[in-house]
């Protein structure tokens, strides 16, 4: 019986693949994805070694895409010759010089909005000696010329000024990761995306500057304001119009995951969408000195159907210089393998209680047989 238990134990220990926890089997990876190539899903996959040549290639590609693709602002022509057009619910102030009876006095304690002429929902206002006139969609110059023409029949050479004292007709919304989300009025000063964010008191700590979305007329556009700030790409700073919604996404999607034999496995949020392999490992307090195999550090990228896997041999400390230059991408998974001896010890730890129990049971049986012998 003892010989049978010993033989069973040796068979269990003969394969480290039975060890607990995750491990990277490079041959199984290549076999699995090479088989998928027959169905046209993917080609032959290889594990790419992180070396100086790969770093140089990565840096060359990064320089090519240093600046995002320039965008075309649909309102670029409007911005070049911007002139505010009155909308319904705005409040106008009309001053006729030398005719105070036509000018409502504002007074010291009365706001200009309370004494102005509100534009009705149908875009009209009423003015003495003129009656009801349509002003929505017109510029202040056009309204001034219209009132001057109508008042000329009752006033000799009228001189008047028209101003907007309450911008209430056109609005944009700023939502997401800004300090003070809310609704902002469009005024006679052109408002761009950056202006709206500034009026919302800027970005919050969790904002992703590379993913600012602008919703307009059922369509959504993604703007990279980080390129605006760092590279001066003004094509990302669009002019806003009535009804626009500016949403600043959070950076929770810009995570990398560090797993395996590190001291503190966790997910790390990239700072401004940037993080190197060395930074990710360092943020998790480095390799576990007792269980990790620094010669087998993997970066897994992409989808399950079409993954890209990179391997770093960091057994020599100078190889970490490569890790300081290897740029990660959002949703990358860094996996640090364990030594084969570590996996072996874990197998021993798991089966040791069972082996001891069986051994004790056999030992008790043998003692019983000895006692019962005549």
pLDDT tens digits, 279-305 = 999 998 888 888 888 888 999 998 877
Q: Confidence class of residue 346 from pLDDT cuts 50, 70 and 90? A: low
- Residue 366 within any structural domain of the chain: no
Residues 236 and 301 in one domain: no
- Residue 269 within any structural domain of the chain: yes
**CATH no. for residue 109?**
3.30.1950.10
**CATH no. for residue 230?**
3.10.560.10
Residues 258 and 314 in one domain: yes
Average pLDDT, the chain: 82
How far is residue 307's CA from residue 354's CA, in Å, rounded to a whole number?
Answer: 39
Pairing mode, strands 207-216 and 255-260: unpaired
How far is residue 141's CA from residue 138's CA, in Å, rounded to a whole number?
Answer: 8
Look at residues 251, 276, 305 and tell me which one is the last residue of a structural domain. Answer: 251
Q: Confidence class of residue 135 from pLDDT cuts 50, 70 and 90? A: very high
Task: Check pLDDT > 90 for residue 276.
Answer: yes
In what helix (H) or strand (E) does residue 91 lie, and over which residues does it extend?
Answer: strand 91-96
- Residue 290 within any structural domain of the chain: yes
Residues 266 and 319 in one domain: yes
Residues 232 and 269 in one domain: no
Residues 258 and 312 in one domain: yes
- Residue 6 within any structural domain of the chain: yes
Q: What is the pLDDT of residue 1?
A: 47
Look at residues 146, 166, 186 and tell me which one is the last residue of a structural domain. Answer: 166
Residues 267 and 284 in one domain: yes
Look at residues 166, 200, 226 and tell me which one is the last residue of a structural domain. Answer: 166
pLDDT tens digits, 245-273 = 999 999 888 999 999 889 999 999 998 88
Which among 268, 289, 288 is positioned nearest to 279, based on CA atoms? 268
Residues 332 and 264 in one domain: yes
pLDDT tens digits, 45-70 = 678 899 999 999 888 887 766 666 77
pLDDT tens digits, 161-181 = 899 999 999 999 999 999 999
Residues 94 and 147 in one domain: yes
What is the number of other CB atoms lying within 10 angstroms of the CB of residue 226?
A: 20
What is the number of other CB atoms lying within 10 angstroms of the CB of residue 50?
A: 22
How far is residue 186's CA from residue 190's CA, in Å, rounded to a whole number?
Answer: 8
- Residue 280 within any structural domain of the chain: yes
Number of domains in the chain: 3
Residues 35 and 114 in one domain: no
Tell me the residue range of the domain where 297 lies: 2-45+254-342
- Residue 97 within any structural domain of the chain: yes
In what helix (H) or strand (E) does residue 220 lie, and over which residues does it extend?
Answer: strand 219-223
- Burial label, 28 (beta-carbon count in 10 A; 0-12, 13-18, 19+): exposed
Residues 140 and 204 in one domain: no
Which among 95, 115, 97, 98 is positioned nearest to 106, based on CA atoms? 115
């Amino acid at each position: 019986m003892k010989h049978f238990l010993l033989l069973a134990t040796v068979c269990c220990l003969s394969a480290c693949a039975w060890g607990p926890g995750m491990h990277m089997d490079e041959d199984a990876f290549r076999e699995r994805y090479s088989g998928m190539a027959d169905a046209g899903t993917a080609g032959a996959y290889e594990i790419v070694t992180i070396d100086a040549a790969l770093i140089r290639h990565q840096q060359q590609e990064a320089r090519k895409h240093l600046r995002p693709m320039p965008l075309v602002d649909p309102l670029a022509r409007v911005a070049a010759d911007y002139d505010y057009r009155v909308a319904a619910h705005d409040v106008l102030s009309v001053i006729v010089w030398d005719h105070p009876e036509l000018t409502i006095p504002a007074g010291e304690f009365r706001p200009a909005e309370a004494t102005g002429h509100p534009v009705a929902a149908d875009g009209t206002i009423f003015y003495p000696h003129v009656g009801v006139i349509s002003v929505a969609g017109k510029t202040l110059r056009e309204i001034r010329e219209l009132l001057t023409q109508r008042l000329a029949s009752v006033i000799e050479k009228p001189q008047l000024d028209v101003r907007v004292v309450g911008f209430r007709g056109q609005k944009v919304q700023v939502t997401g990761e800004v300090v003070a989300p809310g609704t902002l009025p469009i005024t006679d000063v052109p408002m761009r995306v950056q202006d709206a964010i500034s009026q919302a008191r800027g970005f919050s700590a969790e904002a992703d500057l590379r993913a600012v979305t602008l919703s307009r007329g059922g369509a959504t556009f993604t703007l990279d304001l980080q390129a605006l700030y760092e590279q001066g790409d003004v094509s990302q700073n669009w002019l806003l119009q009535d009804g626009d919604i500016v949403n600043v996404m959070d950076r929770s999607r810009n995570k990398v995951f560090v797993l395996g034999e590190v001291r503190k496995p966790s997910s790390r949020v990239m700072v401004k969408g940037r993080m190197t392999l060395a930074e990710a490992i360092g943020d998790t307090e480095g390799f576990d000195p007792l269980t990790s195999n620094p010669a087998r550090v993997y970066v897994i990228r992409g989808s399950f159907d079409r993954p890209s896997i990179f391997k770093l041999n960091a057994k020599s400390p100078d190889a970490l210089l490569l890790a300081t230059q290897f740029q990660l991408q959002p949703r990358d998974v860094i996996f640090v393998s364990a030594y084969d001896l570590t996996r072996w010890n874990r197998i021993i730890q798991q089966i040791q209680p069972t082996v001891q129990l069986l051994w004790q049971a056999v030992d008790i049986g043998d003692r019983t047989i000895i006692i019962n012998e005549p």
